[in-house]
Amino acid sequence: MKVAVINFSGNVGKSTISAHLLHPYMNNCPIFSIESLNSDSSADGMEVEKIRGKKFGGLQEQLLVIDTAIIDVGASNVDDFLNMMSKYHGSHEDFDYFLIPVVKEKKQQSDTINTIRSLSAMGIPATKIRIVFNKLDNEDVIEEEFSALFGLHHLEQNFILNANAVIYYNEVFEKVKIIGKSISAILADTTNYRQKLRETEDLKEREHCVKMIAIKRLAISAQHNLNDVFAILFKK
């Protein structure tokens, strides 16, 4: 499976979603970061291969010889990426899905609509264009917060929309950036920090143990949410 994570807008969580929603469920496949200005999935503890949007030909050559990949398209490179994809006629067929993260802010929602329409205009079928709602609070009513998207879906039917594909706000996504580890790496850490906390008298070590206990608890909650969202987005 090859998934492009894309949106004309920044600050919707493309790199975080690439690192934490997709990468662990796609056999830790390569992540290609199409970015020139902003941070990418490397900030989430991932190894990434960086490519400029104008270097689409090189990316295409790599995608043709591998079965699984994540392509994290930064907002600063979306125009170049789409223009080059149009130039290489039929190259959109190399991607199984175009995943569009969206947040509550109105500008980002407007950019999301433009992204959907741009992909659809290239001949990409609705089944390949999928929305994931990001950074939501538990009390948010999805249909109200994103009424424009639901209206667009009703009218144009050119993308897949599921109100249950929601990644809820969790502090862990920012905390793991600080320590440079992925959520998967945090959960794979078998260190008994509670025991270490009881045994050490070193102040810095105690602070580290307390921090790691809290991060791991948040990571478990986030992982349950991510498990559900991945299954909803890509269920067969």
- Domain CATH for 77: 3.40.50.300
In a domain, 210, yes or no: no
In a domain, 157, yes or no: yes
How far is Cα 230 from Cα 123, in angstroms, rounded to an integer?
25
Instruction: Output the pLDDT for position 38.
Output: 54
Chain segment 3-36, per-residue pLDDT in tens = 999 999 999 999 999 999 999 999 889 999 987 6
Instruction: Tell me the average pLDDT across 179-208.
Output: 92
In a domain, 69, yes or no: yes
Q: Is the pLDDT of residue 226 over 60?
A: yes
In a domain, 180, yes or no: no
Its domain, for residue 8, covers 2-169
b or e along 123-151 (b: 16 or more beta carbons within 10 Å of the residue's beta carbon)? ebebebbbbbbbbbeeebebeebbeebee
Chain segment 100-158, per-residue pLDDT in tens = 999 999 999 999 999 999 999 999 999 999 999 999 999 999 999 999 999 999 999 99
How far is Cα 125 from Cα 114, in angstroms, rounded to an integer?
16
Q: Which amino acid is at 65?
A: V
Q: pTM (2 decimals)?
A: 0.90
Lookup result for tokens 């249909």: 143
Instruction: Output the pLDDT for position 84.
Output: 87
Q: Is the pLDDT of residue 41 over 70?
A: no
* pLDDT category of residue 47 using cuts at 50, 70 and 90: low
Instruction: Output the pLDDT for position 236.
Output: 56
Instruction: Output the pLDDT for position 235.
Output: 79
* pLDDT category of residue 37 using cuts at 50, 70 and 90: low
In a domain, 27, yes or no: yes
In a domain, 207, yes or no: no
Question: What DSSP element (H or E) covers 82?
Answer: helix 78-87
Share of the chain above pLDDT 90, in %: 72
Q: How long is the chain?
A: 236
In a domain, 200, yes or no: no
Q: At 167, is the secondary structure helix, strand, or coil?
A: strand
Task: Give how many domains the chain has, as a whole number.
Answer: 1
* pLDDT category of residue 42 using cuts at 50, 70 and 90: low
In a domain, 179, yes or no: no
Q: At 77, is the secondary structure helix, strand, or coil?
A: helix
Rounded to the nearest integer, the mean pLDDT of the chain is: 90
Instruction: Output the pLDDT for position 148.
Output: 95
Instruction: Output the pLDDT for position 147.
Output: 96
| Helices and strands (H, E) in the chain, number of each type | 10, 7
How far is Cα 9 from Cα 101, in angstroms, rounded to an integer?
9
Q: Is the pLDDT of residue 168 over 90?
A: yes
